[in-house]
């Protein structure tokens, strides 16, 4: 059976070329993602294999979010652990993120969005999370070490002065040694600065404490038993993990670090496979329709239904295997390319040879073959059901099956979707947005079902402006003649465009909302000071700025993580006289003065979510445990304060660290803004990662991440359009093969080549525009609905980017024209005589 399938695929190469390409692209991205992440984790595991402590004890934060200072343990805890039987030694360690190393030119080094860590120098080689490579250990606040990679990259040599900025302060110290990069958890491979233990506490944390305690066991002790003993001795405020557990946790944390890239690759893979499925479904439907006579002949000479079905499935198998194999190779190539690019960046990412695991190979083949076979199955089953008499009948085409079932099912889905939509619109917030997403998925599914029915009318309506010239009428009729085929081809484009236009609408609204939110929220403060990448910075910055001439006031906002029930919230501490002035706040209920009494203010949307009102109390969990708070005021949703707002003293009581997140500066009357900004910059020269911006620049910076999202969306659009183009090319090319005779006839009675091309172009454009317009409508509808339900959650302004969307339809039409190029060349090259003679 496989042999028959192989022959058939070879004999009809052309028909299957694009199927194979579709499988290849999808599997290429799948395997690329897998190979890349395997390679990375292999490289990191290599690092991990090196010693970690037998047992690691870390403070158990009551929070899952990131507070603005790392939870710590006191030396006392280390002493108590040392007393536990079986423990040989303990070593308090400090590992703090959000450090910046400055390059020789005074700018922060480029870490490609990896965190830089600061650590305390380990006492005990057995439990050290990193090791000395050259030089000597640091001693005192005037000495530090750097990891070898970073030092080499920045050209730092032993004995030179290095500047670093910690969350606590800016430090200049002499480089005394080179170390390996960090090995544990998220710090593995990241740039690393270290100081001796006491200096580290002072410079990195600003107070005593350890972020973890490494425990060495006496020989022959069972780590599990001792770790249980430690847990009992210290209680449940700490987490006690053996080396094995630490490695496992660290690896999963690392996977998270690079998970973004893997996820992006998988997103592309999903899109490619999904859209490719339509292409395969179409191809097999066409091939079976064309070969119905031949297949029926097989039945007539005694093949069973199952055998005929299997003949067709065998072809799918061949395509699946070929596509998966090529896709796997492509994926390995893609992964290699990404690795190469990463190494070109000179990042301290440990490298390993490309890892092609059995899981990758199995997944590639299972997915590739499975999807091809599944997509071919309906056609294969239809082939098996062909009655043998078809072989004897003159008309080779099998009548189209009724669309009734599809209409009913699709109609039902659409109805459900509309209901879900209505329900979603009555709610708000993220759950409602998710409901909108689900409803949109249902709408798309319902449309895919009913599209064959719609296509007939829609194509006619869309193409009527093109006039009634013969090639145009013929092209349009061709698009109408196989509604299923047209619909399946258009579906692929519809889904891609719905996705893209929905995201574009949401992103545009988000941008507009940021602008408006900032314009509304920032009052009299003319300069805004923030840390790079939202990192908090030392309070020294604010202290210095208060003395800068021309700056009349400095207002501080600090942020930390908290939880109310199981809902994560941000806790914000604001200095006195910050609200209703420097930050514009509209009070809905209660009094802002209540903050001074230790009460809190909540934005209306958060209060609604938490079902709180003025006067009510609730429990907020922070690093220091549960705190009972009273709501003193409800304010309107505020772009700058989407948080539980407290006064600064109260913020500190609740466990917030002494690090500022944002400073709002008021410029004295008569001082020019630019002058003031220069003065400010001059005062904090040794904090190069702290940015000082006026309102416009601040808004632009806040919009930055959205532009990043838009970039990804753009890439997605390009890719989706490419695959949709393949689908249209496929449909047209197969149509040309199928209609060889008809094209011969048209040529014989006088259709010239440009007319032939126009005929195929019209068909392609009809399909493309149909799919694009539907997708756009659905996408914009979804985008508008999401904005509507998220109006209090960051999407206050609706912005439908009409120009871009119209552009998308124009691009779709252009894609149609492009898609017709190759098939129409083939059609034009058909020998008229042979075409007429074709059976």
Q: What pairing do the DSSP bridges indicate for beta strands 170-179 and 143-147? A: parallel
Residue from 337, 405, 415, 470 touching other proteins (CB under 8 A): that is: 470
At closest approach, how far in Å is the CB of 285 from other proteins?
18
Residue 660 phi/psi, 5° resolution?
-90, 145
Least distance (Å) between residue 828 CB and other proteins: 10
473 near other proteins (CB under 8 A): yes
Residue placing its CB nearer to other proteins in the complex, 481 or 544: 481
Q: Closer to other proteins by CB, 111 or 755: give it.
A: 755
Q: Of 746 and 782, which has the nearer Cβ to other proteins?
A: 746
Q: Give the residue with the Cβ less far from other proteins, 613 or 832.
A: 832
Considering only the stretches 180-188, 473-481, 486-494, 723-731, report the one whose residues sit in contact with other proteins under the rule CB under 8 A. Answer: 473-481
Q: What span, in angstroms and rounded, lies between the C-alpha atoms of 330 and 323?
A: 10
Is residue 750 part of the contact set for other proteins (CB under 8 A)?
A: yes
Taking the complex as a whole, how short is the minimal distance between the CB of residue 742 and other proteins, in angstroms?
A: 6
Q: Which is nearer to other proteins, 315 or 480 (CB)?
A: 480
Contact segment (CB under 8 A) with other proteins among 26-34, 369-377, 583-591, 748-756 equals 748-756
Q: How far is the CB of 832 from other proteins (least distance, A)?
A: 6
Residue 765 makes contact with other proteins by CB under 8 A: no
Q: Of the candidates 119, 132, 216, 746, which one interacts with other proteins according to CB under 8 A?
A: 746
Q: Rule CB under 8 A: choose which of 751, 797, 800, 817 binds other proteins.
A: 751
Considering only residues 248, 341, 366, 748, which one is a binding residue for other proteins as defined by CB under 8 A?
748
247/478 with CB nearer other proteins: 478
For residues 157-216, which are near other proteins according to CB under 8 A? none
Q: Cα 545 to chain center, whole Å?
A: 38
Q: Does 480 bind other proteins (CB under 8 A)?
A: yes
Considering only 279-287, 475-483, 491-499, 689-697, which stretch makes contact with other proteins by CB under 8 A? 475-483
Q: Which is nearer to other proteins, 381 or 477 (CB)?
A: 477
The SS3 of residue 225 is helix
Q: What minimum distance in Å lies between the beta carbon of 296 and other proteins?
A: 19
**Residue 826 sits in the site that holds other proteins (CB under 8 A):** no
Rounded-to-10 torsion of CA 768, 398, 746, 454: -30
Piece of 163-171, 202-210, 603-611, 746-754 that binds other proteins (CB under 8 A):
746-754
Helix (H, G, I), strand (E, B) or coil at 94: coil
- The total of other beta-carbon atoms located within 10 Å of residue 11's CB is 10
Helix (H) or strand (E) holding 770: helix 753-789
**According to the binding rule CB under 8 A, does residue 478 interact with other proteins?**
yes
Q: How far is residue 669 CA from its own chain's centroid?
A: 45
Q: Is position 392 an interface residue for other proteins (rule: CB under 8 A)? A: no
C-alpha span between 327 and 333 (Å, rounded): 10
Cα 487 to chain centroid, rounded: 30
Nearer Cβ to other proteins (385/834): 834
Between residues 125 and 752, which has the closer beta carbon with respect to other proteins? Answer: 752
Alpha-carbon distance 151 to 174, whole Å? 13
CB 545: neighbour CB atoms within 10 A? 21
Residue appearing with tokens 């097999």? 284
Number of residues that bind other proteins (CB under 8 A): 24
832 binds other proteins (CB under 8 A): yes
Q: Which two tokens stand for residue 353?
A: 């040879």
Closer residue to other proteins, CB minimum distance, 628 or 829: 829
Q: Is 741 in the site for other proteins (CB under 8 A)?
A: yes
Among 148, 381, 481, 544, the residue binding other proteins under the rule CB under 8 A is: 481
Q: Are 263 and 708 in contact (CB under 8 A)?
A: no
Q: Is 745 near other proteins (CB under 8 A)?
A: yes
299 near other proteins (CB under 8 A)? no
| HEC profile of 264-314 | HHHHHHHHHHHHHHHHHHHHHHHHHHHCHHHHHHHHHCCCCHHHHHHHHHH
Interface with other proteins (CB under 8 A), residue from 329, 742, 777, 788 = 742
Which among 178-186, 349-357, 448-456, 470-478 is the span making contact with other proteins, rule CB under 8 A? Answer: 470-478
Contact indicator for 213, 77 with CB cutoff of 8 Å: yes
**Applying CB under 8 A, which part among 55-63, 355-363, 442-450, 745-753 lies near other proteins?**
745-753
What are the φ and ψ backbone dihedral angles of 430, each rounded to 5 degrees? -60, -45
Q: Is 100 in the site for other proteins (CB under 8 A)?
A: no
Q: Can you tell me the distance from the alpha carbon of 394 to that of 404, in angstroms, rounded to the nearest whole number?
A: 28
Residue 593, both tokens: 């003065």
Token digits of residue 435: 């409901």
Shorter beta-carbon distance to other proteins: residue 658 or 755: 755
Residue list 55-74, contact with other proteins (CB under 8 A): none
Strand ranges in 156-258 using DSSP code E only, listed in sequence order? 161-165, 170-179, 192-195, 212-217, 238-242
Residue 362 near other proteins by CB under 8 A? no
Least spacing, CB of residue 484 vs other proteins, in Å: 16
Six-digit token pair at 243?
A: 């080396």
Q: Residues 421-460: x/- map of binding to other proteins (CB under 8 A)?
A: ----------------------------------------
Alpha helices in 739-752, H assignment, sequence order: 740-748
Contact between 256 and other proteins per CB under 8 A = no
- Residues 570, 755, 804, 825: which binds other proteins (CB under 8 A)? 755
CB 456 to other proteins: min, Å: 12
User: Rounded distance, CA 436 to CA 420, Å?
Assistant: 7
Q: How far is the CB of 741 from other proteins (least distance, A)?
A: 5
Neighbouring C-beta atoms of residue 460, cutoff 10 Å:
14
Copy the structure tokens of residue 156.
Answer: 């730092």
Measured in degrees and rounded to the nearest 5, phi and psi for residue 463 equal -95, -10
| Binder of other proteins out of 382, 555, 747, 757 (CB under 8 A) | 747
Q: Which of 32, 471, 550, 656 binds other proteins (CB under 8 A)?
A: 471
The two tokens of residue 436 are 């909108």
Residues of this chain, 535-554, that bind other proteins according to CB under 8 A: none
75: left (phi over 0), alpha (psi -120 to 50) or beta: alpha
833 near other proteins (CB under 8 A): yes
β-pairing, 55-59 vs 662-667, is unpaired
CB 594 within 8 A of CB 627: no
Q: Which is nearer to other proteins, 611 or 839 (CB)?
A: 839
Chosen residue from 161, 565, 753, 807 binding other proteins by CB under 8 A? 753
3-state DSSP helix/strand/coil % of the chain, to nearest 5: 60, 15, 25
- 749 sits near other proteins (criterion: CB under 8 A): yes
Site membership for other proteins, residue 469 (CB under 8 A): yes
Q: Compare residues 469 and 675 and give the one whose CB is closer to other proteins.
A: 469
Looking at the Cβ atoms of 501 and 824, the one nearer to other proteins is 824
DSSP 131-192: -EEEE----STTEEEEEHHHHHHHT--TT-EEEEE-SS-EEEEEEEEEEPPP-SGGGTTS-E
Distance CA 557, CA 537 (A): 11
Identify the CA nearest to 736 among candidates 637, 629, 834, 820. Answer: 820
Closest to other proteins by CB, 100 vs 480, is 480
* Residue 527 per-residue DSSP state: E
| 3 Cβ contact list (under 8 Å, min separation 6) | none
3-state secondary structure of 531: strand
The binding site for other proteins (CB under 8 A) comprises 469-471, 473-474, 477-478, 480-481, 741-742, 745-753, 755, 832-833, 836
């Amino acid at each position: 059976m496989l042999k028959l399938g192989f022959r058939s695929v070879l004999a009809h190469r052309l028909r299957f070329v694009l199927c194979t390409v579709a499988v290849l692209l999808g599997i290429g991205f799948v395997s690329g993602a897998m190979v890349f992440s395997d390679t990375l984790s292999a490289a990191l595991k290599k690092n991990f294999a090196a010693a970690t402590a037998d047992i690691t004890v870390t403070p158990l934060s009551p929070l899952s979010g990131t507070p603005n200072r790392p939870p710590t343990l006191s030396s006392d805890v280390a002493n108590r652990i040392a007393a536990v039987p079986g423990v040989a030694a303990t070593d308090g360690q400090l590992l703090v993120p959000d450090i910046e190393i400055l390059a020789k030119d005074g700018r922060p080094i480029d870490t490609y969005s990896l965190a830089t860590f600061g650590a305390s120098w380990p006492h005990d080689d057995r439990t050290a999370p990193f090791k000395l490579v050259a030089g000597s250990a640091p001693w005192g606040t005037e000495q530090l070490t750097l990891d070898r990679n970073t030092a080499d990259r920045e050209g730092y040599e032993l004995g030179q002065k290095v500047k670093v900025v910690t969350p606590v302060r800016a430090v200049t110290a002499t480089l005394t040694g080179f170390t390996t990069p960090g090995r544990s958890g998220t710090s593995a491979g990241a740039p690393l600065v270290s100081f001796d233990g006491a200096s580290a506490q002072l410079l990195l944390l600003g107070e005593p404490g350890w972020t973890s305690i490494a425990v060495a066991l006496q020989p022959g002790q069972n780590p599990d038993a001792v770790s249980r003993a430690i847990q009992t001795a210290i209680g449940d405020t700490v987490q006690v993990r053996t080396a094995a557990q630490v490695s496992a946790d660290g690896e999963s944390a690392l996977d998270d670090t690079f998970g973004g890239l893997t996820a992006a690759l998988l997103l592309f893979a999903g899109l490619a496979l999904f859209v490719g499925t339509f292409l395969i479904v179409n191809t097999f439907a066409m091939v079976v329709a064309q070969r119905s006579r031949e297949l029926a002949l097989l039945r007539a000479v005694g093949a069973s239904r199952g055998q005929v079905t299997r003949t067709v499935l065998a072809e799918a198998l061949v395509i699946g295997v070929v596509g998966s194999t090529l896709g796997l190779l492509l994926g390995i190539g893609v992964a290699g390319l990404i690795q190469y690019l990463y190494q070109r960046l000179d990042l301290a990412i440990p490298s390993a040879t490309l890892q092609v695991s059995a899981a990758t190979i199995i997944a590639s083949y299972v997915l590739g073959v499975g999807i091809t076979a599944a997509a071919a199955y309906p056609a294969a089953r239809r082939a098996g059901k062909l009655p043998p008499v078809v072989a004897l009948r003159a008309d080779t085409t099998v009548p189209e099956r009724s669309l009734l079932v599809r209409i009913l099912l699709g109609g039902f889905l659409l109805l459900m979707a509309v209901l879900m939509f209505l329900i979603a619109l009555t709610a708000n917030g993220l759950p409602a947005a998710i409901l909108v997403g689900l409803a949109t998925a249902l709408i798309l599914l319902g449309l895919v079902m009913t599209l064959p029915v719609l296509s007939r009318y829609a194509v006619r309506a869309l193409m009527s402006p093109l006039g009634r010239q013969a090639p145009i009428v013929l092209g349009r009729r061709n698009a109408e003649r196989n509604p299923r085929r047209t619909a399946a081809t258009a579906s692929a484009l519809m889904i891609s465009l719905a996705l893209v236009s929905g995201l574009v609408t949401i992103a545009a609204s988000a941008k507009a909302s940021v602008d408006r939110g900032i314009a509304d929220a920032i009052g009299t403060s003319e300069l805004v000071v923030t840390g790079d990448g939202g990192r908090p910075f030392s309070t020294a910055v604010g202290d210095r700025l208060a003395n800068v001439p021309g700056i009349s006031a400095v207002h501080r906002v600090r942020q930390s993580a908290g939880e109310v029930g199981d809902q994560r919230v941000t806790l914000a501490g604001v200095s006195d006289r910050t609200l209703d002035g420097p930050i514009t706040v509209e009070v809905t209920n209660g009094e802002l003065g209540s903050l001074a009494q230790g009460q809190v203010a909540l934005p209306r949307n958060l209060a609604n979510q938490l079902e709180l009102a003025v006067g009510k109390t609730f429990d907020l969990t922070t690093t220091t445990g549960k705190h009972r708070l009273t709501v003193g005021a409800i304010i309107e949703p505020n772009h700058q304060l989407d948080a539980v707002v407290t006064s600064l003293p109260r913020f500190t009581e609740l466990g917030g660290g002494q690090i500022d997140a944002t400073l709002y500066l008021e410029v004295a009357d008569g001082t020019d803004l630019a002058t003031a900004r220069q003065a400010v910059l001059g005062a904090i020269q040794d904090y190069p990662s702290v940015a000082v911006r006026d309102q416009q620049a601040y808004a632009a910076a806040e919009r930055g991440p959205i532009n990043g999202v838009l970039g990804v969306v753009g890439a997605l659009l390009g890719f989706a359009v490419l695959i949709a183009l393949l689908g249209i090319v496929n449909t047209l090319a197969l149509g040309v093969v199928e209609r060889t005779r008809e094209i011969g006839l048209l040529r014989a009675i006088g259709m010239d080549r440009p007319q032939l091309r126009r005929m195929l172009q019209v068909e392609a454009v009809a399909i493309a525009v149909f799919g694009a317009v539907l997708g756009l409508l659905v996408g914009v509808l979804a985008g508008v609905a999401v904005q509507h339900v998220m109006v209090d959650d960051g999407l206050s302004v609706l912005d439908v980017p009409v120009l871009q969307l119209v552009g998308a339809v124009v691009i779709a039409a252009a894609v149609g024209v492009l898609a017709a190029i190759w098939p129409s060349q083939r059609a034009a090259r058909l020998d008229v005589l042979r075409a007429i003679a074709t059976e």
